[in-house]
Structure 1
Amino acid sequence: MAAAQGRLSDGADDTDDTAGDEAPLPFRQAVEALRTARLRPEMEIDPTRPPQRLAPFAYALEAAVVADGEDLTDGRLVLLHDPQGHDAWKGTFRLVTLVRAELEPEMAADPLLPEVCWSWLTGAFEARGVEYGEASGTVTLAGSHYFGGLADRAPATQIEIRASWTPREGTGGVPDTAAHLAAWCELLCQIGGLPPANGSDGGVVSLPQRRGPQSR
């Protein structure tokens, strides 16, 4: 990715036209908070083209966790905004994410792994005092075994988290999107096997994986 580690690229305006001057002020402020957020140095993050039909206004980021030159986890975060509100969201903003990482085969055998990974998402919010609601999502494990010309490749297991939640709106109807982004990045780092940013594990265990996604 082209972005400097730990900070969003300054080229966001070249990727998305829904955050321009015609967008509502709360949405523009929420996007600006994402663009200026300071993140962990292991994060490489860039704007990407958002989906066009989920909401009147949208902004998207793609990210990777990179340590020692190796991609450990990747993901996508989309900020949606509907000024008229949305019954299912119970608000005017919604955050949607996809996170992927490749696991060591023995880790995938843990029957509690999906519950643990989901708790990391909610735990990251709680650790930062981030207010949210209406969270929903899935945790999926997919195994691959290779045959024929690919038989020399080791079996691989990928975990995929799809989730969405409503960030609570603060002053002026604007959610603290920078805090939500930081919590989301902490989830990516934790799935990538990195310790919490504050250096204290707080009793939380990270996955001991060291292999990144096979394809981006």
Structure 2
Amino acid sequence: MAAAQGRLSDDADGTGGADTASLSAKDAAPPAFRAAVEALGAARLRPGIEIEPVRAPRRLAPYTYAMEATVVDGEDDLADGRLVLLHDPAGHDGWEGTFRLVTLVRAELEPEMAADPLLPDVCWSWLTGALEARGLTFGEASGTVTRAGSHHFGGLAQRPATSQIEIRASWSPREGAGGVPDTGAHLAGWCDLLCQTAGLPPTSPGDGSVVSLPQRRGPQTP
């Protein structure tokens, strides 16, 4: 599976560039954190998503767990991302609770789409809309949407220009019974966002009004 690019750190919106380290020791973690991690593993996700646990950043919270996912279509990777679960049993004023989810999502898109001035607003609405569509409540959502373009020169001049969208965000899932949020549902909502960014159509009839990015080009060779 292609790993999500980018790095996570302790900056204002919960995403940035810190070193990743080992997963928190789940056996020694509080029951609420263990239950939240188990719910992630039990989530039923849309076909075409390859997902696996990865080393989690340690500096963000006392207990952390991370997953990376790739949306695949045949041999093509359409989008990738990373989702990190944070837990601080003592609570965190900026979180409005003891849990926080942090994400990085990236995908390539056509240059004409990248030029749309409304694209960042639309992409941000995909995140909140994906969670709300599953009936999830959350607080303190924050983040950034970045679009970037690359032009090639010299020996790479024959390669077409490429554009990329990147969504970095964090939010606090509402904690339910026993102080445990429904992390499985949040993971499913996050995967909806990932698929939408990849340009895949919605899977349920109720999502027919959702607009996705057009399908991306296949990988370019030098």
Residue type matched to 2:32 in 1?
Answer: P
Match of 1:128 in 2: 134
The answer to whether structure 1 residue 68 and structure 2 residue 74 are counterparts is yes
Q: Which of 13, 24, 27 matches 1:21?
A: 27
Report if the CA contact (8 A) 2:22-2:58 is conserved.
no
Q: Which runs of 4+ in 1 moved over 6 A?
A: none
Report if the CA contact (8 A) 2:200-2:215 is conserved.
no
Distance 1:212 1:18, change over 3 A: farther
Unaligned runs of 5+ in 1: 3-14
TM alignment of 1:137-148, pairs within 5 A: 137-148=143-154
Report if the CA contact (8 A) 2:108-2:164 is conserved.
yes
Which secondary structure does the structure 2 equivalent of 1:34 belong to? helix
Unaligned runs of 5+ in 2: 3-20
Q: Shift of residue 72 of structure 1?
A: 0.4
1:83, 1:141 → 2: CA distance?
36
Report if the CA contact (8 A) 2:76-2:219 is conserved.
no
Match of 2:179 in 1: 173
Match of 1:43 in 2: 49
CA RMSD of aligned residues (A): 1.7
Q: Shift of residue 201 of structure 1?
A: 3.8
Q: Shift of residue 67 of structure 1?
A: 1.5
Q: Which of 100, 111, 114 matches 2:106?
A: 100
Which secondary structure does the structure 2 equivalent of 1:21 belong to? helix
Match of 1:88 in 2: 94
The answer to whether structure 1 residue 191 and structure 2 residue 197 are counterparts is yes
Distance 1:75 1:127, change over 3 A: same
Figure out how many residues of one structure are paired with residues of the other and give that number.
Answer: 202
Q: Shift of residue 31 of structure 1?
A: 0.2
Report if the CA contact (8 A) 2:79-2:105 is conserved.
yes
1:144, 1:27 → 2: CA distance?
41
Question: Under a length normalisation based on structure 1, what TM-score does the superposition of the two structures give?
Answer: 0.89
Q: Which of 111, 118, 121 matches 2:124?
A: 118
Q: Which of 160, 166, 169 matches 1:160?
A: 166
Q: Shift of residue 73 of structure 1?
A: 0.3
The answer to whether structure 1 residue 211 and structure 2 residue 217 are counterparts is yes
Percent same amino acid among aligned pairs? Answer: 74
Distance 1:196 1:19, change over 3 A: farther
Report if the CA contact (8 A) 1:30-1:174 is conserved.
yes
Residue type matched to 1:156 in 2?
Answer: T
Which secondary structure does the structure 2 equivalent of 1:209 belong to? coil
